[in-house]
Structures are given as C-alpha cells and as structure tokens.
C-alpha cells in the first residue's frame, strides 16, 4: 500500500499529532493540531465527525489505514490541493509567504533555506506576500502553468 519512506512520514505526522504521547489520537490531539496550524475556532461537531470516520481508537495502524482509504483512487492534484486547503479555511486559494515558510522549514521533512529560495523563485508571491497555491499545485501535477482565462 505505502512505501517505507511514506510510512515513516506518516509516523512522523502521527507523532506530531499525538500530543499527549499515549499512542492514540483523540479529540484533544485534533484540537491541539488545528490550533498549531492556526485554526483556533474548530467546532466540536467537526472534530466529532472526523473521529467517527475511525472504526475505533486511532492508533498508528488505524491512522495509516484511514489515510490509505482516503488516498485510494484520489487524484494527486486533488490530494495536494486538499492538504493546502486545510490552511485556507476561507478558500482564497492563497497562503501568506511567511506562513508557508514557517510550515515548510519547521515541520516533518523540513525545507532548507536554499529549497525555500528555489520555491519562491519558481513561484513568486504577489505584492501582498501571498502564494497562489492552486497554481503551484497545478504546475506540480501537470508540469505547466494554467492558461489564464
């Protein structure tokens, strides 16, 4: 289902989310994860709906299985877009350059300064400092910029 490197990345994500280090992700872990990502006003119903998707307590095996089910048949573009959308609750299609830099240099497989410079050279933010992640994802998955309408 997953390659060994992918499993290691999921393990790192699970470890980050398991705030109390008990080997399970619960509602408090989810709330803390959302808060760390800048979403402070997540409704309890939203968290409860997420937890209902699991067949039981969410240990690493369940976490990995749930990811596999979500990704099965998923289009790469849609999967990557959905990852960005977590940080863009208003659906603007952009994220602040500073936020992107913070996330990519401090979480999981961290980007180096050189990699960040390459990213922003290839995908420069607008004058307000926003990165158009929809265009970025399109280019990553299709290899070329969308035709401007």
Same-domain check for residues 62 and 105: no
Same-domain check for residues 119 and 133: yes
Residue 42, Cβ neighbours under 10 Å: how many? 16
Same-domain check for residues 59 and 87: no
Same-domain check for residues 61 and 105: no
Position 90 in a domain: yes
Question: What pLDDT does 16 receive?
Answer: 86
Distances (CA, A) of 73 to 64, 78, 79: 16, 11, 10
Position 147 in a domain: no
Share of the chain above pLDDT 70, in %: 89
Position 148 in a domain: no
Domain of 105, CATH number, reads 1.10.238.10
Residue 14, Cβ neighbours under 10 Å: how many? 21
Residue 94 CB-density burial (10 A; 0-12 exposed, 13-18 middle, 19+ buried): buried
Question: What pLDDT does 145 receive?
Answer: 60
Position 133 in a domain: yes
Q: Give the mean pLDDT of 57-66.
A: 85
The residue segments making up the domain with residue 119 are: 76-142
Position 116 in a domain: yes
Measured CA to CA, the distance from residue 113 to residue 129 in angstroms comes to: 18
Closest listed residue to residue 60, CA positions, set 11, 107, 5: 11
Per the structure, the count of domains in the chain is 2
Question: What pLDDT does 149 receive?
Answer: 46
In which band, very low, low, confident or very high, does the pLDDT at 3 lie, cut at 50, 70 and 90?
Answer: confident
pLDDT, tens only, 64-116: 888 777 666 556 788 788 888 888 888 899 999 998 898 888 876 788 888 88
Position 87 in a domain: yes
Q: Give the mean pLDDT of 31-50.
A: 83
Same-domain check for residues 67 and 80: no
What is the pTM for the complete model shown? 0.48
């Amino acid at each position: 289902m997953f390659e060994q490197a992918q499993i290691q990345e999921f393990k790192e994500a699970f470890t980050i989310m398991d705030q109390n280090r008990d080997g399970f992700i619960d509602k408090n872990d989810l709330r803390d994860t959302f808060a760390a990502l800048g979403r402070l006003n997540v409704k309890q119903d939203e968290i409860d709906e997420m937890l209902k998707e699991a067949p039981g307590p969410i240990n690493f095996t369940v976490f990995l299985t749930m990811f596999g089910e979500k990704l099965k048949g998923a289009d790469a573009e849609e999967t990557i877009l959905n990852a960005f959308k977590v940080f863009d609750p208003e659906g603007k299609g952009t994220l602040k350059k500073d936020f992107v830099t913070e996330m990519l240099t401090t979480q999981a497989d961290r980007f180096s300064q050189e990699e960040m410079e390459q990213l922003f050279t290839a995908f420069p933010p607008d004058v307000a400092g926003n990165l158009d992640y929809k265009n970025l994802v399109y280019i990553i998955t299709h290899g070329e910029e969308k035709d401007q309408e």
